[in-house]
Structure 1
Amino acid sequence: MALPVAGLLTVTGPAAADWPDRLVGHGGPVKSVVLERDGDRLLSTSFDYTALLWQEPDAHGKLSDPLRLTGHNAAVNDAAFLPGNRAVTVADDSDVIVWDLATGTIQHRFPGRGEKVLSLAVSPTGRHVAIASWENEARIYDLEATEPGLVATLDAHRGNVNAVAFSTSGKKVFTASYDGGIRQFDLASGSFERELVNLGWGVNALKALPDGRSLLFGVTDGKVGVLDIETGAETKVLPAHSRPVLSLAISQDGKRAASGGGDGVIRVFDTETWELLEEFQNPYGPVWGLAFTHSGHALFYAGLDDELHLWQVAPRKPFEPIEVDFPRRFQVSDTDDPGELQFARKCSVCHTLTPDGGNRAGPTLYGVFGRKAGTLPGYAYSPALLAADFIWDENTISDLFDYGPDVITPGSKMPIQRLKSVEDRDALVAFLKRATDPNPPSNPTGEIAQ
């Protein structure tokens, strides 16, 4: 529910952008959201291995289907717009992809080093992209070089790098790490200059404020604060989250900032006084992504749902119902079927059981028994599965969860999921055989068995 607080925003324009309250199109939890600064488009990324490009509804309120950017082989964690009608994305597959948004095709793919990349930042000129890697480093890519690609590796951290930010001048790069440090590097040389502060707990989120003097940060212990770049002093400590801070956002006019946490709380602040303006509580899960609309009067937020939600920050509505399906398909617990429970926990984020299949990270499992691996029409299989030479049956599916996809389908996009108990594997296989059968047997009453 929404929690009213003192100090409401004063607005003179429309209450919110013309976007709908929900953007439905992904087939898995949404990881990030960003709006084009001087345009009318939005990018969202998801666990379903894709990014979606959304166009703001037309004058009649009609929302067109999003452009689907498919090319990563794992969950897509972050995205940003680039000059020249382009975008850049990063993912758990470690790669950095630059997209041509006119065609939805890949312009450049920069291979990673094998570890996931959680976030990225684009320099003020749009020439450089910085990425935060779990290789304990950040990396800088020059997109306007004669041969675009990696130009610097920033490796002064002792833990995963979770976030990056450019200074407003574009000359410095700031990194935030699980080791608790926020560090400064020179963009031109790639050299490490200093550690601004060490907060003791891992730093998950980092944003440069438009004043050019400050950084907004969020920490795994729930702390949110403002850091003076020159002195490294914490100039403001904001209300803490009860769980890790997962996302931050700055409005396009720089007058508002927002924090989102694992506790489902979103807070909006005035960046001049740091007064808490509004607070929102989503009891259904974490806030992985935040983005202000152009007016700054509304916020898109993303989390465990397959869609984006829009919260009208100002003027506040007297009541704002949260339209989510809860429990989610992977949070099923009220079933007596142990196989169904294993499917919900291990498979349902990536796969459906229905003929239409949806837009999940993996293909539908409808009719999977007796199907040759890598042959379902319309799904973009990895080369490893396209080259596979076996049939999905009770034994191969059981082996998949016994030994793991890295053994049974090496090189495929499948995340590693294993079930060590033979009873759990047998229950899952039995459930899948019933639930995916295109021709389920009839029971004695003549009704179709479920």
Structure 2
Amino acid sequence: MPSPRLSRPHPRTRRGRVRGRVGGSLAAALAVLAALGGGVTAAPAAADAGGLREVMFVGNNWDGTAEVIASRGDFGRIGRVNVIPDREERMREIYLDPLKLAFFLGVRSGPGEGHDQFVDDMYATPDGSSMVVSRPSFADVVSVDLRTGRINWRFPVAGYRSDHMAVSPDGTRVAVSASTANTVHVLDIVSGRQLGSFKTGDKPHENVFTSDGLLWNMSIGEVTTALDAPWLDWTKGDRKITVVDANTFRTVRVIDMRERLDAFGRGDLSDAVRPLVFTPDEKKLYFQVSFLNGFLEYDIAADRITRLKALPGNPATNPDRTTWVNDSRHHGLSMSPDGTKLCVAGTMDDYATVVDRATLQEGPLVEASKPYWATVSGDGRSCVISESGADRVTAIDFATGRRIATVGVGDHPQRVRLAHVPADWTGPTAR
């Protein structure tokens, strides 16, 4: 397939960005499972039993807000949550501690691209009463009451930055990466009490619970340095997949993807595993790595990489990989519930596309401004991507690969997760 016709210069900073504005427990558990990816069947209806409504949370990272939108149909806006109501208190703590201040400014100048990072990831509690949010710049996880907008509990992570999260299949536990401490904390989602933790490689990133009682963590190493030449890859740190028992938090397996890439004959690729998704039977996983415009397929039982899919590059993309945000090239991957289609966010190439899993043939390249995440709609029919460069989310039909809806959100949307809120909810009453 020829290179995509996407001629718009890539937005790098807020100034250069396109500021587009286009306009009960079973159901909750199913939504949590669907949000984990891996082809889990989505909840069957937007209006649920038990007084809950299925929605999507969209984390507006630079705003410090989370948009709540419909999980299907027109994906229309429902409400917005301020996830930093305690901002003044947190900032006071930071400015009184020189080390905290140094890391706070480091997040701003590094992964934040000149901005503070106030929301990385978010999930709902099983009863739909609260939103649990990881806040990188504040190095914590908080629970925000969806009715009042007030904080229920706060958990400061080890080190100085919180990152990606995952929720257990039963919706009762949340795992969060403490990226500067090489640690994953597992918390009770209702109380915020730590249930356990485990060590990882350098800079833990994505977390995924699987149905066999395991918790997977992918460490990506250092992604904010300019030492991005392939021969300097060794400077990025110890990157690996750490798999632990989700109840005891004991390590059951460590996967060194460098060894697997070498065996596959692609030792030139980075072994920093970024977003990934499991097949419905959890026998294979598909994953993106730093600097690659494409993804790889890994057979879990055979413990080997089996296929690589290279996707088209955008001629307008700056070929200097030191300019790519946080070592990303493509960052965002989801799978249709039946396991037949993959949806890929081509972050630095400004498009998203649906790929047939059997043939690895991509569909139409849907123009998108710095798409940073991909998930699955509540009805399982669409891939939903966040366009961080245009402050909107876009739904792409899995069957046709075409855009079907776009809705404006807040500043720099990244993570998008399925969730539940009270059926009559339109936003917190306290502002």
Give the deviation of 1:127 after TM superposition.
1.8
Residue 84 of structure 2 aligns with which residue? 71
Decide whether aligned partners of structure 1 residues 105 and 197 sit closer, same or farther in structure 2, where only a CA change above 3 A counts: same
Match of 1:109 among 129, 154, 168: 154
1:184 to 225, 236, 243: 243
SS of alignment partner, residue 258 of structure 1: strand
Post-superposition offset of 1:165: 1.0
Match of 1:118 among 143, 163, 174: 163
Structure 2 matches for 1:366-377, cutoff 5 A? none
Q: Which amino acid aligns with 1:42?
A: M
In the TM superposition, residue 233 of structure 1 has moved relative to its aligned partner by 0.9
> Amino acid of the residue matched to residue 377 of structure 2?
T
Secondary structure of 2:133's match?
strand
SS at match of 1:276: coil
Aligned-pair Cα RMSD in Å: 3.9
* Separation (CA, whole Å) in 1 of partners of 2:306 and 2:75: 45
* Separation of aligned partners in 2, 1:62 and 1:126: 24
- Structure 1 vs Structure 2: percent identity of aligned residues? 19
Deviations 1:148-201 (A, max 9, x none): 4223332231x2112111122233333342244222122222122332232343
AA paired with 1:215?
L
Q: 1:57 to 1:263 in 2, by over 3 A?
A: closer
Counterpart code for 2:122? A
Closer/same/farther in 2, CA of residues 280 and 102 from structure 1, 3 Å limit: farther
In 2, Cα distance between the equivalents of 1:41 and 1:297? 15
Task: Return closer, same or farther for 1:238/1:133 CA change in 2, 3 Å cut-off.
Answer: farther
Q: 1:316 to 1:247 in 2, by over 3 A?
A: closer
Higher-Rg member (1/2): 1
**What is the rounded CA distance, in whole Å, between the counterparts of 1:99 and 1:297 in structure 2?**
30
Q: Give the letter for the 2:134 counterpart.
A: V
The structure 2 residue matched to 1:41, chosen from 48, 55, 69, is 55
TM-score, normalization by structure 1: 0.56
Contact 1:79–1:88 (CA<8 Å) still a contact in 2?
yes
Q: State the distance in 2 between where 1:241 and 1:119 align.
A: 28
255, 259, 263: which one aligns with 2:344: 259
Amino acid at match of 2:187: D
Corresponding position: 1:168 with 2:252? no
Counterpart code for 1:132: S
Q: Which residue of 2 aligns with 1:226?
A: 297
Determine which of 127, 133, 152 is the counterpart of 1:89.
Answer: 133
Indicate conservation of the 8 Å contact 2:122/2:133, yes or no: yes
Q: Is the 8 A contact 1:176 1:205 kept in 2?
A: no
Query: Is the alpha carbon distance of 1:180 and 1:286 closer, same or farther for their aligned partners in structure 2, counting shifts above 3 Å?
Result: farther
Classify 1:226/1:260 alpha carbon distance in 2 versus 1 (closer, same or farther; 3 Å): same
Shift of 1:218: 0.9
Instruction: Note closer, same or farther for the CA distance 1:214–1:207 as it changes in structure 2 (3 Å cut).
Output: same
C-alpha deviations, 1:414-435, integer Å up to 9, x for none?
xxxxxxxxxxxxxxxxxxxxxx
1:150 and 2:194 correspond: yes
Change (3 A) 1:127 1:23: farther
TM-score when scaled to structure 2?
0.58
- The answer to whether structure 1 residue 129 and structure 2 residue 158 are counterparts is no
Distance 1:77 1:252 in 2: 25
Gaps of 5+ in 1: 5-20, 25-32, 326-357, 362-378, 381-450
Q: Distance in 2 between matches of 1:316 and 1:219?
A: 23
TM-superposition CA deviations, 1:2-49 (whole Å, max 9, x none): 999xxxxxxxxxxxxxxxx9766xxxxxxxx96994243111001211
Name structure 2 gaps, 5 residues minimum. Answer: 5-19, 24-33, 47-53, 88-116, 222-237, 259-269, 314-327, 413-429
Is the Cα contact below 8 Å between 1:124 and 1:169 reproduced in 2?
Answer: no
Moved over 4 A (4+): 21-24, 33-37, 61-65, 240-243, 320-325, 358-361
Distance apart, 1:305 and its partner CA: 1.7
Q: Give the corresponding residue for 1:51.
A: 66
2:300 alignment partner AA: I
The structure with higher relative contact order (CA 8 Å, sep 6+) is: 2
